[in-house]
Chain A
Amino acid sequence: GEDVEQSLFLSVREGDSSVINCTYTDSSSTYLYWYKQEPGAGLQLLTYIFSNMDMKQDQRLTVLLNKKDKHLSLRIADTQTGDSAIYFCAEKTGGFKTIFGAGTRLFVKA
Chain B
Amino acid sequence: DVKVTQSSRYLVKRTGEKVFLECVQDMDHENMFWYRQDPGLGLRLIYFSYDVKMKEKGDIPEGYSVSREKKERFSLILESASTNQTSMYLCASSSPRDRGDNEQFFGPGTRLTVL
Contacts and interface: CB of A to CB of B under 8 A. Distances in A.
Interface of A: 4, 8, 31, 33, 40-45, 48, 50, 88, 92, 96-98, 100-103
Nearest to B49: A96
Given A31-B101, A33-B101, A96-B50, A101 B42 contact: yes
Interface string B75-115: 00000000000000010100000001111111111000000
Contact of A103 (B42, B58, B103, B104): B42
Interface of B: 4, 31, 35, 40-43, 45, 48, 50, 56, 58, 90, 92, 100-109
Given A42-B90, A42-B107, A8 B56 contact: no
Contacts of A103: 42-43
Leading 5 A-B pairs by shortest Cβ distance: A42-B106, A102-B42, A100-B43, A43-B106, A48-B101
A100 B42 contact: yes
A9 to B, nearest CB: 10
Contacts of B56: 96
